[in-house]
Amino acid sequence: MTKKTLITDITSKLVPLRIWVQSAFLLIWLDPMGFRLHGVCGPVFHCYSCPLASFACPIGVLANFSSLHLFPFVAVGIVVLFAVFFGSLLCGWACPFGLLQDLAAKAPIPKFNLPQWTGYFRYVVLIAAVLAIPFFAGADHPLFICRLCPVGALEAAVPNVVQQAMTGQQIVWPNALKITILILVVAAMFLSYRPWCRVLCPLGAILGMFNRASVFFLRLDGDKCNNCKKCHNLCEYGIEPSKNPNSAACIRCLECTTCPTDALSLGSIFEKGNKTSDSVNSESLTAQT
């Protein structure tokens, strides 16, 4: 049986305050000190053309370097380091666009569930719009990720248009496809939980791939799990944590760790003991069913 650890204690106190933690991270991404460190990437989805962006967008850098036929060692190194430490914890707790979607999802409107298979489209976006199209067709191609990205549209293009209008300059509108995608994503944000993260986000696709090998991971204690499936209901993204706690589709919001038997918790490789990472005691679960 897994003992309660410091990490478990902290996360159990923080899970109800997740929105506030995400909001606090804005102080990092929105450059309150005006440093503009655009030579390095942040590990979250935030457009570098945003007037307040502290860091460069890792996806934008990947795409631009792909168009230049260069390998972005710094961007890939930063993403890999953050991913191997936290996996998609960054999605659930730090990403500013994730915060926006979580706030939009609080609107009292019925929500639609997106089927799990739509999550594979993230990899299509990553391979096509971020890597292949820039590599073979250059940054001027209409399907270059930055020309479509609703995050860039909302965080950069919209403030830019507003600023141009307020200062009397000629307004440069984003292209029609970008505006259309923005409208659709914003509408979807109110009608579903985190549609961008679940269906389209290429950075989430990368971070999620590291969930099984990350330093911090979701631990399932098979001795405590009574297969009640309450974690399935707690998960807003259709994942079954008791079967696949470190799914690549998971954003690690850790809502499932409010499991009534404390079977699910955030663990780390620093903890003592020789339990498996997923710690699924399949024999005890099979006996209970």
Partner 1 sequence: MLSKNKHIVVSSIILLIGSILLINGLFFRYIKIVPQSESNASVFVLSEWTVTKDTTVGGLFRDDAGRIKRTYTGKSPQACPT
Chain residues binding partner 1 by CB under 8 A are 38-41, 48-49, 56-57, 60-61, 64-65, 67-70, 72-78, 80-81, 83-85, 138-139, 144, 146-147, 152, 156, 160, 210, 212-215, 217, 269, 273-278, 280
Contact 78, 41 (CB under 8 A): yes
- Minimum Å gap between C-beta 272 and partner 1 is 10
CB atoms under 10 Å from CB of 33, counted, come to 7
In the bound state with partner 1, the residue whose beta carbon lies nearer, of 116 and 244, is: 244
Q: Cβ 43 to partner 1, closest distance in Å?
A: 11
Smaller CB distance to partner 1: residue 155 or 236?
155
Nearer to partner 1 by Cβ, of 72 and 241: the residue is: 72
CA–CA separation, 142 vs 270, rounded Å? 46
Beta carbon of residue 71, minimum distance to partner 1 (angstroms, whole number): 9
β-pair type (216-220, 264-268): antiparallel
Ordered alpha helix ranges (H), 192-248:
195, 202-209, 230-234
* CA–CA separation, 201 and 208 (whole Å): 11
Count of alpha carbons within 13 angstroms of residue 182, beta-carbon side: 19
Tell the smallest beta-carbon distance from residue 180 to partner 1 (Å): 15
Task: Report the distance separating Cα 204 and Cα 199, nearest Å.
Answer: 10
Q: Which is nearer to partner 1, 109 or 177 (CB)?
A: 177
Contact (CB, 8 A) for 129 and 178: no
| Token pair of 146 as six digits | 């930055």
User: How far is 277 from 267, CA to CA, in rounded Å?
Assistant: 8
Q: How far is the CB of 172 from partner 1 (least distance, A)?
A: 9
Is 16 or 142 the residue whose CB approaches partner 1 more closely?
Answer: 142
Which of 233/276 has CB closer to partner 1?
A: 276
Q: Please state the three-class secondary structure of 69-115 as a single string.
A: CCCCHHHHHHHHHHHHHHCCHHHHHCCHHHHHHHHHHCCCCCCCCCC
Residue 115 CB, shortest distance to partner 1, in Å, is: 26
Question: Would you say 172 or 287 has its CB closer to partner 1?
Answer: 172
Can you say whether residue 254 is alpha, beta or left, with left for phi > 0 and alpha for psi between -120 and 50 degrees?
left
Least separation in angstroms between residue 255's CB and partner 1 is 23
Give the shortest CB-222-to-partner 1 separation in angstroms. Answer: 11
d(CA 35, CA 42): 13
Report the residue number, 48 or 237, with the smaller CB distance to partner 1: 48
